[in-house]
Copies of this chain bind each other. A is one copy, B any other.
Amino acid sequence: MDGQKSVGIVRTKTLRVIEPNHPLLLKCGKYLGPIDVAYETYGTLSEARDNAVLICHALSGNAHAAGCNHPEERKPGWWDIMIGPGKPIDTDRYFVICSNVVGGCSGTTGPSEINPETGKPYGLEFPLITIEDFVTVQKLLLDKLGIGHLLAVVGGSMGGMQVLQWAASYPDFIDAILCIASTTRLNAQSIAFDAVGRNAILADPYFKRGQYHDDQQPIRGLSIARMIGHITYLSEESMRAKFGRQLRASTDYSYEFNSEFAVETYLDYQGQTFIERFDANSYLYITKAMDYFDLTRQFGSLNRAFAAAAGRFLIVSFSSDWLFTPAQSEEIVLALGAEHKDIVYCNIQSSYGHDAFLLEAEKLGRVIEGFLGSMLQKIRTGRLVRGKPLTDKAPVKRADRFKRARVDYELIDSLVEPNSRVLDLGCGDGELLVRLMQDKKIAGQGVELDEELVIRCIQRGLSVIHRDIERGLEMFPDGTFDYAILSQTIQTLRDPQKVLEELHRVARKVIVSFPNFAHWRCRMQLMFSGMAPQTRQLPFRWYNSPNIHFLSLQDFDGFCRDLGITIERKLPLGKRTAKPIRLWPNLTASQAIYVTSRKTPPLK
């Protein structure tokens, strides 16, 4: 344990949030009471009470998220990499609360606690609980602690489900909603894995309807359930890297039924350590709560679930997560977009699979730190964007460097009306958006494909969606924006027509800039040297160019005609001047900026 960066020794406290005489009506229709909640807090609540951050834990987590409960503890809390002084969830800045869920087995009332009516553990007499109940109980805890508003709710996996439930159930209560590696509902495959795990517990002869506390425990069933779960937490790639087909002890097969492959030993170990710290009853109840979670079912549609949410959303997925996939995170982004929410989405490249939310400290840390930091700044100063120059942590590809040295920022700036809503496609590190936000007070949204640039945007406080624009922009309803900007990108697209049609669907006006392939230098080069032109605007060789479509002003004019797009302004530009060229523009302009709009749907 690194003393310098830890919250140090913390104590898990317990608070009674439901008294026996006023039991809580659960979602299932049954009553539960009393309810005690185990929780920990780190950091200090500010005088303005504006810095409270609630952490929601995953299936096997608990209230002990950071620091150590006593000096000899071997491992610190489950998210110690994220929570602490100077860490992404900085306990010098935020007041952090984490509590054990109801139904759990780490201090909060759960099925292995004593049922006051019988004097025996609840076992299967405990009522079925839901993610909604988790959140209701967390809210009761916050009420008891006197916290009337949250800066943020943060959680990964099942923690992310609680985060989404918070946004849906208490839409005005939270400024920032951070949902990591999660989903709004389990798919059939995940339900299947959960069901098999529960079957293994229920099939264990020692389970005895959950009344196993005086006798041998259903450890074999619980450990099989954990093993199944654990396989789904890792990616095939990470398992291959970690274990491959390595044998534990020998170089030869034993030809016996023991755990001889390293991966088998690892699973045995995971099963073994799990039964020491977790409870079979809680495993049944909590996995069932996850299976039941379904915001669409709760609210009629996912869009409606988020309709009232007032906060800003950060959605994070991991590329190799096959339990709660990037596609499931994108469903959330889609629904949030439909409700015009302020969204940041990042799909972090990681080989760790679902467990990445516990392991990808560096990248996930930058994202969380950036998002939370800008939100606290917004609450306190009204300004979301942090314009400070960024360190060049990772090298940027040559093509991107070229793109971002674009000379048309100034002109685009002049074309945009103040206070409008602007979508910047391929927004890079957000330079143009920051500029427009400062000069024109626009509401900006970026879309960017490069992970590093997305993270830099998040660190600056920008709203950015990590996405390939060629996949379409279905998260934005028709007419979401006043302007969509496509700067120096159209010639690199596989399908310019599809993208342009999407842009005209989501924005009232589209601003497009591109290099002019019919500039006289290009014409001359092809005419007289008989070679693919190379110019300042088209600096690449034919075989290594990111530009895969070549167009002139006249080509773009024809394209707009064919697609029924109206050209509102056409600015042919010279090399260095921002003054439009009037004479023979298709011959003399080295690039052009168009402002276009579309009244009618495309002719099919």
Contacts and interface: CB of A to CB of B under 8 A. Distances in A.
Contacts of A34: none
Given A188-B245, A203-B220, A530-B587, A257 B198 contact: yes
B517 A527 contact: no
B497 A518 contact: no
A32 to B, nearest CB: 13
A319 to B, nearest CB: 15
B187 A199 contact: no
Contacts of A240: 187-189
A382 interface: no
Given A523-B530, A532-B551, A267 B128 contact: no
Interface string A5-28: 000000000000000000000001
Contact of A195 (B195, B244, B263): B263
Interface string A253-270: 101110101111001000
A353 to B, nearest CB: 10
A555 B526 contact: no
A506 to B, nearest CB: 19
A288 B545 CA distance: 52
Contacts of A189: 231, 234, 236, 239-240
Contact of A531 (B224, B257, B558): B558
A367 to B, nearest CB: 26
Interface residues of A, number: 87
Contact of A267 (B195, B259, B294): B195
A31 interface: no
Contact of A187 (B186, B188, B239, B555): B239
Q: Is the interface of A mostly helix, strand, loop or mixed?
A: helix
Nearest to A205: B205
Contacts of A261: 188, 191, 195, 291
B191 A294 contact: no
A438 interface: no
A191 B553 CA distance: 60
A257 B284 contact: yes
A171 to B, nearest CB: 24
A368 to B, nearest CB: 28
B256 A195 contact: no
A128 B255 contact: yes
Query: What is the total number of copies of this protein in its complex?
Result: 2
Contacts of A200: 200, 203, 224
Contacts of A199: 220, 223-224, 227
A204 interface: yes
Given A200-B224, A530-B523, A124 B195 contact: no
A216 B256 CA distance: 25
A284 B189 CA distance: 24
A550 interface: yes
A569 interface: no
A542 B551 contact: yes
Contact of A497 (B127, B186, B544, B551): B544
Contacts of A28: 253, 255
Contacts of A198: 257
Interface string A205-227: 10000000000000011011001
Interface string A266-298: 010000000000000000100010011010010
A460 B112 CA distance: 67
Interface string A512-535: 000001100011001101111000
A202 interface: yes
Contacts of A263: 188, 191-192, 195
B555 A532 contact: yes
Nearest to A530: B518
A548 B532 CA distance: 12
- Give the one of A199, A325, A587 with max B CB within 10 A: A199
A264 B288 CA distance: 12
Given A195-B261, A198-B257, A224-B200, A542 B550 contact: yes
B253 A292 contact: yes
Contacts of A548: 494, 548-549
A178 B288 CA distance: 44
A173 interface: no
Given A128-B255, A196-B224, 15 more contacts: A29-B255, A30-B255, A185-B245, A189-B236, A192-B231, A192-B239, A193-B231, A195-B267, A200-B224, A236-B322, A495-B543, A496-B543, A522-B526, A526-B552, A531-B555
10 contacts: A185-B245, A187-B236, A187-B244, A189-B239, A192-B227, A192-B267, A196-B267, A200-B200, A518-B526, A518-B531
* A-B CB proximity, top 8 nearest: A548-B548, A28-B255, A518-B530, A203-B220, A188-B239, A128-B255, A530-B586, A188-B243
